[in-house]
């Protein structure tokens, strides 16, 4: 249904409400130019009909499009939507929603290789205006507009009903119909700035991260160096003339008595490359170790007793048999560094490992399925219930 016609009198597109009824309306169809009759009865909504038996489907859409152009040409004003720019973590309101009053308006003037519906001019700046009823700006057109670099507004007229009254139609075109920026030069400029800013932010972040990494690296290095210093001064202290002898295995102790009965005393004094890391003498820690890890499980008949080297060094540590400077973990790198000044230095972990290999060689422990185990074959229980070494 058609609410618009072109007036014979003015050549302008006008609304049904502005004409007399019947042929006296003096209008032709905006699409096919056929003569129109204004139907302004009391039942149906007022509309134009073709006077001839036209097949013209000439449509409300194209009439509305023409009407919108003519309206803005006449009023020279339009409501602009708010203008925002955002990129990455940045966003800014560049202009609020506002009314724009043009100095003048051009209809269908070619700009570059496009012909916008209207060009509104204000202070020598052009604003392109497009109306969309069913055809909206496509990718190709948007590219062209961006290339020209002129701000372009598209107004969506698709929601306007043919039978709305004139005031309502005008209000929608000028103010309330959906409208948005296809392209806006201020927005493009702001987005470019945001892009530059974002690149700078990334660079700044990377620099910051690098500084933090360097700092961590330095801290690790400092810790490493201070640990070396601590180990070296501990060695110096331990090897000095005035340092008291570390506690030895007491011959009155239960441990000594048990080892002695089992025939293991000679095996609790294995000569290791150094004993600097240990706070007790060799016979003491080795003797206690033999009791706890070999004799005790055999006494209890715990055939399943098995342990790793790590478990063994932990035990040594919890017995307070290590100077704190030498506590695990003590890396190979640290050890190498200490050896530069003390060539026979060896980590307590490795010293204990040497001792375990010695016990294996002597047949007191065995290595099976990734664990150390007491060798039950090497011992027997005496008539009085004590563990003794089986002589081979
Ligand atoms: Zn027509």
Domain limits of the chain? 4-58, 62-189, 254-389
> Residue 5 Cα, ligand 1 centroid: separation in angstroms?
9
C-alpha 62 – ligand 1 centre gap (Å): 10
Cβ atoms 198, 87 nearer than 8 A: yes
Whole-model pTM over 0.75: no
Whole-number Å distance, alpha carbon 167 to ligand 1 midpoint, is 24
Residue with tokens 């342990």: 307
Q: Please tell me the number of Cα atoms within 13 Å of 271 on its side-chain side.
A: 1
pLDDT tens across the length of the chain (392 residues): 899 999 999 999 999 999 999 999 999 999 888 999 999 999 999 999 998 867 787 678 889 999 999 999 999 999 999 999 999 999 999 999 999 999 999 998 888 888 999 999 999 999 999 999 877 888 898 999 999 999 999 999 999 999 999 999 999 999 999 999 999 999 999 999 999 999 999 999 999 999 999 999 999 999 999 999 999 999 999 999 899 999 999 999 999 999 999 999 999 999 998 899 999 999 999 999 999 999 999 998 887 789 999 999 999 999 999 999 999 889 999 999 999 999 989 999 999 999 999 999 999 999 999 999 999 999 998 888 888 998 76
- Helices of type H across the chain: 60-75, 139-148, 166-171, 185-239, 254-262, 282-290, 296-299, 309-318, 332-339, 348-361
In the beta sheet, which residues pair with residue 181?
Answer: 153
Beta-sheet pairing, 125-132 with 152-156? parallel
378 HSE (CA, 13 A, CB side): 18
From ligand 1's centre to the CA of 129, what distance in Å? 26
Helices and strands, number each (H, E), in the chain: 10, 18
Tell me the CA–centroid distance for residue 6 and ligand 1, in Å.
Answer: 11
Rounded to whole angstroms, how far apart are CA atoms 4 and 62?
Answer: 10
Token duo for residue 16: 């049904």
Instruction: Report CA(138)–ligand 1 centroid distance (Å).
Output: 28
């Amino acid at each position: 249904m058609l609410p618009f016609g072109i007036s014979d009198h003015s050549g302008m597109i006008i609304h049904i409400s502005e004409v007399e009824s019947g042929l006296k309306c003096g209008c032709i169809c905006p699409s096919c130019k056929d003569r129109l009759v204004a139907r302004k009865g009391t039942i149906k909504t007022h509309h134009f009909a073709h006077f001839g038996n036209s097949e013209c489907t000439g449509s409300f859409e194209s009439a509305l499009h023409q009407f919108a152009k003519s309206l803005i040409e006449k009023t020279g004003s339009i409501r602009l939507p708010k203008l925002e720019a955002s990129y990455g973590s940045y966003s800014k309101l560049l202009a609020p929603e506002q009314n724009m009053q043009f100095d003048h308006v051009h209809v269908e003037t070619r700009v570059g290789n496009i012909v916008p519906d209207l060009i509104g001019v204000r202070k020598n700046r052009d604003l392109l205006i497009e109306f969309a009823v069913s055809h909206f700006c496509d990718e190709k057109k948007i590219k062209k507009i961006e290339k020209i670099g002129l701000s372009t507004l598209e107004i969506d007229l698709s929601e306007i009903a043919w039978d709305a009254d004139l005031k309502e139609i005008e209000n929608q075109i000028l103010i309330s119909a959906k409208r948005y920026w296809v392209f806006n030069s201020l927005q493009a400029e702001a987005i470019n700035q945001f892009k530059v800013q974002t690149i700078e932010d990334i660079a700044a972040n990377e620099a910051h991260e690098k500084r933090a990494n360097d700092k961590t690296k330095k801290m690790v290095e400092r810790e490493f160096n201070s640990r070396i210093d601590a180990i070296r001064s501990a060695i110096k202290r331990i090897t000095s003339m005035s340092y008291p002898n570390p506690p030895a295995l007491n011959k009155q102790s239960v441990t000594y008595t048990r080892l002695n009965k089992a025939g293991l005393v000679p095996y609790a004094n294995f000569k290791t490359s150094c004993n600097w890391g240990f706070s007790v003498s060799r016979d003491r820690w080795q003797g206690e170790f033999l009791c706890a890890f070999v004799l005790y499980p055999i006494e209890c008949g715990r055939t399943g007793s098995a342990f790793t080297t790590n478990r063994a060094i932990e035990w040594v540590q919890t017995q307070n048999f290590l100077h704190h400077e030498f506590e695990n973990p003590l890396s190979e790198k640290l050890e190498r560094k200490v050896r530069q000044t003390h060539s026979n230095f060896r980590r307590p972990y490795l010293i204990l490992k040497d001792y375990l290999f010695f016990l294996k060689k002597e047949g007191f422990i065995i290595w099976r399925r990734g664990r150390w185990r007491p060798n039950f074959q090497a011992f027997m229980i005496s008539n009085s219930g004590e563990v003794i070494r089986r002589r081979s």
